[in-house]
């Protein structure tokens, strides 16, 4: 077999093609594609996760506390409700011992998100501010109550200033109205039942009381309850 001379081997090695090189432009373009893809996926995740949180927040109120609260009868425990309004926070202590039926219904409606977006329909200075789905002043104006009444009512609680109440007549979920007194009003005890008292945010109640209203006591600018948060203690 003929031997290949060293010079011939050197010439053959020079003729062999080396590995293909990746240009700098290709590397930069590939990196940009990866970055854009990752950013797009992250933005999509943020969008849908935020949308889910908003939908959940609109459908139900937030409850903060132990899981044992959910497994026990609501009226057996002391509780507070924080009304997040357009003017600020109003913290209410709920009278579960004295008005268990009303408080239970109120808590059920909070969990269903019934009060989210509810408007303050009427504001009467030195009297009450009223939130609800009904455009009428309700029990504070109509002294003729209709329908069944709650069986457990505490007549010892009076409508002093900053008391939270609702109609003594039983109503459906959509007819549940909230009244917060801005002055002592003993006459309301015959028509409204007290089931809570404002313990923080009295200045917010007074700020709502001072808004401009029309001749029917309706606020000229909308004031809403954004959401209601329930707590065992504050």
Residues 150 and 91 in one domain: yes
113: left (phi over 0), alpha (psi -120 to 50) or beta: left
Residues 98 and 135 in one domain: yes
75 in any annotated domain: yes
Query: Which residues contact residue 93 at a Cβ distance below 8 angstroms, ignoring those fewer than 6 apart?
Result: 78, 80, 196, 197, 199
Residues 194 and 105 in one domain: yes
Of 13-17, 20-24, 32-36, 184-188, minimum mean pLDDT range: 13-17
What kind and span of H or E run contains 181?
A: strand 178-181
Residues 40 and 140 in one domain: no
Q: How many CB atoms lie within 10 A of CB 90?
A: 25
Distances (CA, A) of 33 to 25, 81, 176: 12, 50, 56
Residues 33 and 148 in one domain: no
- The overall average pLDDT reported for the chain is 75
pLDDT at position 9, please?
Answer: 52
Say if residues 154 and 102 touch (Cβ distance below 8 Å).
no
CA pair distance 78, 93, nearest whole angstrom: 8
Total domains present in the chain: 2
9 in any annotated domain: no
Residues 52 and 96 in one domain: no
CA pair distance 218, 211, nearest whole angstrom: 10
- pLDDT tens, residue by residue, 189-203: 777 888 999 999 999
Residues 53 and 160 in one domain: no
Distances (CA, A) of 14 to 8, 22, 125: 10, 21, 99
7 in any annotated domain: no
Give the SS3 label for residue 126.
coil
Confidence of residue 65 (pLDDT cuts 50, 70, 90): very low
54 in any annotated domain: yes
pLDDT at position 75, please?
Answer: 46
Domain around 217: 62-231
Domain boundary, last residue among 10, 31, 59: 59
Residues 99 and 29 in one domain: no
Residues 94 and 32 in one domain: no
Of 107-111, 129-133, 228-232, minimum mean pLDDT range: 129-133
102 in any annotated domain: yes
181 in any annotated domain: yes
pTM of full prediction above 0.75:
no
């Amino acid at each position: 077999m003929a031997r290949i001379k060293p010079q011939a081997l050197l010439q053959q090695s020079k003729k062999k093609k080396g590995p293909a090189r990746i240009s700098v432009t290709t590397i930069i373009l590939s990196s940009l594609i990866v970055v854009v893809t990752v950013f797009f996926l992250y933005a999509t995740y943020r969008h849908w996760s935020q949308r889910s949180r908003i939908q959940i927040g609109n459908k139900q109120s937030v409850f903060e506390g132990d899981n044992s609260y959910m497994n026990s009868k609501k009226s057996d425990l002391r509780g507070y409700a924080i009304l997040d309004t357009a003017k600020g926070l109003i913290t209410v202590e709920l009278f579960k011992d004295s008005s268990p039926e009303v408080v239970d219904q109120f808590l059920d409606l909070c969990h269903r998100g019934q009060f989210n977006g509810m408007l303050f329909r009427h504001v009467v200075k030195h009297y009450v501010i009223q939130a609800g789905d009904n455009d009428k002043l309700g029990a504070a104006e109509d002294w003729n109550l209709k329908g069944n009444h709650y069986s457990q009512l505490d007549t010892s609680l009076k409508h002093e200033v900053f008391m939270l109440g609702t109609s003594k007549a039983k109503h459906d979920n959509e007819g549940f109205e909230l009244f917060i007194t801005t002055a002592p009003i003993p006459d309301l005890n015959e028509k409204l039942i007290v089931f809570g008292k404002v313990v923080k945010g009295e200045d917010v109640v007074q700020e709502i009381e001072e808004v401009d209203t029309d001749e029917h006591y309706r606020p000229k600018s909308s004031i809403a309850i954004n959401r209601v948060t329930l707590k065992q203690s504050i």
